[in-house]
Amino acid sequence: MSFTWFNVNSSLDNQKIKYSKDNGSTYTEITLPAGVWTYKSFSEYIKSQTKIGDKTYPITLISDDRIFRVEITLANNYKLDLRGSNFNEVIRFEKVVLSSGTHIGPKMPNLSQDTDIINSHCDLIDHSTVDGQEKDIIICSFSTSVLNPSYSFTLEPKRVTYSPTFTTIYLNWFCVFIIITTNDFITVPTINLHCQETLGMESGTITEEQISVSSREQNVGKSVRLHHTGKTWVADRNRLNQWLQLDLRAQHTKVTRVATQGSSQKNHRVKKYKLQYSNYGVRFQYYREQGQTIAKEFNGNTDESSVVYHDLHPPITARYIRFLPVELKKNTISMRVELYGCRKECGRFLGMQSGEISEEQLGTSSERDSNHSANQGRLHYVHSDKTGSWAAASNDANPWLQVDLVILHTKVTHVATQGSDGHQREWVTKYNLLYGNDTERFYNYTIPRQDTAKVFYGNTDQNTVVYHDLNPPITARYIRFKPVEWQDWISMRVELYGCVQEFTAVFTNLGKNGSQGPHAVGSHYTGQDHDGQVRVSNGTQLWTVPRTGEYRIEAIGASGGYGKESDIKNGGRGARMIGNFNLTKGEIIHVLVGQKGRRGNINRKTAGGGGGTFVVRGSNTPLIIAGGGGGIRNMSKQHLGCDASINTTGNAGYNTLLGTGGSSRRGGNTPDDHKSGGGGGGFLSNGKTAPGNNGPSGKGGKGYLQGGEGGEYQGGFGGGGGLYKSNKGAGGGGGYSGGNGGGKKGESCGGGGGSFNNGTNQQNECCYNSNEHGRVIITFIQ
């Protein structure tokens, strides 16, 4: 966990700290350089300023993960004076306190004295949305001994005085300092004015695998982390087209600030640089300031150790960030960097009030009557004829209201409740939460490090909304509200907040090989995110979209087969097509996963074409299609004509008499040489069958609308064309338009199928899958 010491600058009056030793009256003053600090970097700086001899450090900082705070410890006879500034980060006050407004020292606070003032910096834990407003989740510590109505305190920098309570407090500004005493907790959501948490270079949260560089000097590792003191990355000399790339592994991460240093060991540094960004790591855009048409040049470093910060207006929202040096010191590129910002929020309405959560997703232990069903249990629900709330039956000894979020691993970060709408004064005053991924086993939501179920305080009237943050969040499919105490009758209206966390559905061939598609899902998707959402009809998988939103769909076509005498040991390669699509909850997406072509059992010198992979909305509206590779008869090297095409037209193959493959969504052709393989099937029609054959070989693969069956022999499901007997022509690949069948010549192949992509943010690759079945990967974005 990384503890951030938020902005240190003169405007916040938090740069100066004074200390003395031997309880003397003379203090030494330390002025902190402006910037954003972690506790580690702050501790190292304090150590460097106060070090005595080789190993004596009178002032140190230690993180305490249990309470999300940082502890200041002092050597004997040392004291710390913070009266000259607002800079304070103090915890574990049995060791370090500010007492009687004079200094911090190793004493216990005397809470009976009105002069006790203890200031501390709050920690940003998470970003979310509460009741439709963007907020930061801040955690601070309180003592029950000061939480009484007569005790007020002040928060900085905006000086607002109020009396603390145990309930959640919603404030309209960012909390920087707050009075605290010991380790009890309260969470304070506040409107988000800061999005500058460290994203993980210095802390190591960004791993080595997430860091890449264009080049590096021999024997110098990729040590590019801010404040790293070992060897620093050094790129090839005298070359400006170099870059340092960070993969944040989350699309739509917001980056609001960057920081750079030079080399930690040599006088190497970057004097100026540009930034690029991308969501998929393929097409990068230059960062430009608002209203500008040219890329911004950032001023870099003037020495090897100082940190130079730049705020980004507007922020970058992307997964990949690149630093591109444009002016160097001593013709050598060397950088250490950090990024600041915040991850994608996880606090959107999950759909009770909006109706996105359907009536079929709600369940109850009982209902008072038809006017008090689960469907009435939606936040702010008001109906002219029915009561606005769910209400349990009078004899229900174990009442609950259940919400099925459909998607496994949905992250729930907040809950909200109301009582009954209308004339009935009914509400739940206390409740528990339970959660689970099936309806057989439910678990109590508990306070961290405690085994007892957490009791949530509910409502005190009918219509006021009472919110609770879940720290830690619940990650589950099913959520149950279980009333414990109530006013007059059990009546509730509820909402859930959170996000769909890492929903990824991977569609495979379900263990099926050859020209026929699978018959059932079986247990292939058990425990996966799309478990229970897929059924099979005539080889095509029908997926019911679980949630409205934007999805990233990746379709990969199957490879063709290859003959045993071929020098290259793979068939024609399938295409890989990626795009973003807006899908609606409840609609049916048809997924046909292409199966690879195979060599003949007897005719082992030639092979069938690979099936295309199709993702289709409804029965006949293609979203994205990846062509399958052509079969290979006998090839000494790879040839692009055998591979799938990223264009809509199929390929002709190699050593055929035809110039192009199929087009206009139709099947591929086949050379008129009486010994050619079958053409690959297209979206609308079958591939052509070889003329004049006297048996079930050289058959064209069937089109998608005709069922997608592979041609005889050995064409892969998804329209792969069949091989011709007697070790002659190979089959063409299936796809949006089919690839041509291969000719009878010794070194030849069928053409790869064409592809199609109707999505945004496209990423298309012609030659991806060399020896496998196809697959489809669907990921929820937002």
Residue 280 — very low, low, confident or very high, per pLDDT cuts 50/70/90?
Answer: low
Q: Which of 113-122, 156-165, 418-427 has the highest mean pLDDT?
A: 418-427
Bigger pLDDT: 318 vs 379:
379
Q: What is the pLDDT of residue 290?
A: 66
Q: Which whole-number Å values give the CA distances from 203 to 60, 63, 243, 321, 450, in the listed order?
A: 18, 13, 22, 18, 29
Nearest Cα neighbor of 480 from 496, 504, 502, 498 is: 496
Q: What band does 173 get if pLDDT is binned at 50, 70 and 90?
A: very low
CATH fit for domain 349-500, picks 2.30.110.10, 2.40.50.110, 3.30.110.60, 2.60.120.260:
2.60.120.260
500 vs 619, which has greater pLDDT?
619
Could you count the other beta carbons within 10 Å of the beta carbon of residue 447? Answer: 12
Which one has a higher pLDDT value, 235 or 76? Answer: 235
Per-residue pLDDT at 39? 59
Query: What was the pLDDT predicted at 54?
Result: 63
Q: Is the pLDDT of residue 103 over 70?
A: no
Q: Decide: helix, strand or coil at residue 704.
A: helix
Whether the predicted pLDDT of 774 surpasses 80: yes
Residue 650's contacts (CB-CB under 8 Å, 6 or more residues apart) are 627, 660, 661, 662, 663, 668, 680, 682, 732, 733, 735, 737, 738, 739, 740, 751, 752, 753, 754
CA distances from 236 to 220, 274, 311, 321, 331 (A): 11, 18, 29, 20, 10
pLDDT at 347: 67
Strand partners, 79: 20
Query: Does residue 101 carry a pLDDT above 80?
Result: no
Cis ω for the linkage preceding 472 (within 30 of 0): yes
Q: 22 to each of 25, 84, 662, how far by Cα in Å?
A: 9, 20, 89
Question: Looking at 509-585, which runs of residues are DSSP E strands?
Answer: 534-537, 540-544, 549-556, 574-583
What pLDDT shows up at residue 204?
Answer: 81
Q: Are strands 336-342 and 197-198 parallel, antiparallel or unpaired?
A: antiparallel
Q: What is the pLDDT of residue 429?
A: 95
pLDDT attached to residue 757? 96
The pLDDT assigned to 121 comes to 38
Q: pLDDT band for 740, please (50, 70, 90 cuts).
A: very high
What is the per-residue pLDDT for 384? 64
Q: Is pLDDT at 80 greater than 70 in this prediction?
A: no
Residue 533: CA count within 13 A, CB half-sphere: 27
The pLDDT, as a whole number, for residue 99 is 31
Residue 200: CB atoms within 10 Å: 18
The answer on pLDDT for 254 being more than 50 is yes
The partner residues of 360 in beta bridges, in order of sequence, read none
pLDDT tens-digit readout, 132-166: 444 443 434 333 333 333 333 333 322 223 233 22
Confidence at residue 120, expressed as pLDDT on a 0 to 100 scale: 37
pLDDT score, position 491: 94
Mean pLDDT confidence for 380-397: 83
Expressed in percent and rounded to 5, the helix, strand and coil fractions of the chain are: 5, 35, 60
Residue percentage of the chain with pLDDT more than 70: 73
What's the count of helices (H) and strands (E) in the chain, helices before strands? Answer: 1, 48
Is the confidence at residue 434, as pLDDT, over 50?
yes
> Rounded CA gap, 272 and 258, in Å?
13
Q: How far apart are CA 253 and CA 256, in angstroms?
A: 10
pLDDT at 590: 97
Task: Take residue 587 and report the two structure tokens written for it.
Answer: 């609609």
Architecture of domain 198-344: Sandwich (2.60)
| DSSP class per residue in 284-343 | -EE---TT-SSPPPEE--SSSS--EEEEEEEEEEESEEEEEEEEEETTB-B-EEEEEEEP
- Tens of pLDDT, residue by residue over 631-650, are 998 888 888 899 999 999 99
- The mean pLDDT value for 243-263 works out to 83
Q: Which two structure tokens, joined as six digits, stand for 133?
A: 């407003």
State the average pLDDT over residues 362-378.
92
At a CB cut-off of 8 Å and minimum separation 6, what does 533 contact?
406, 505, 543, 544, 546
Q: Give domain limits for the chain.
A: 2-104, 198-344, 349-500, 502-781
Phi then psi dihedrals of residue 44, to 5 deg = -65, -40
Compute the CA torsion angle 551, 557, 596, 644 (nearest 10 deg): 180
Same fold, 198-344 and 349-500: yes
404: pLDDT strictly greater than 50:
yes
Each residue of 312-366: pLDDT tens digit? Answer: 877 887 878 999 998 876 667 888 999 998 765 676 778 888 888 989 999 999 9
Question: With 60 as the cut, is the pLDDT of residue 397 above it?
Answer: yes
Average pLDDT, the chain: 77
Cross-strand pairs, 763: 578
**Highest mean pLDDT range out of 140-144, 172-176, 442-446?**
442-446
Q: Are 711 and 687 contacting, i.e. CB atoms less than 8 angstroms apart?
A: yes
Q: What is the structure's pLDDT at 222?
A: 57
pLDDT for 296-311, tens place per residue?
Answer: 999 998 888 889 999 8
Mean of pLDDT values over 725-754? 91
> In whole angstroms, what is the distance from residue 644 CA to residue 745 CA?
21
pLDDT at 218 over 50: no
Query: Does residue 226 surpass a pLDDT of 50?
Result: yes
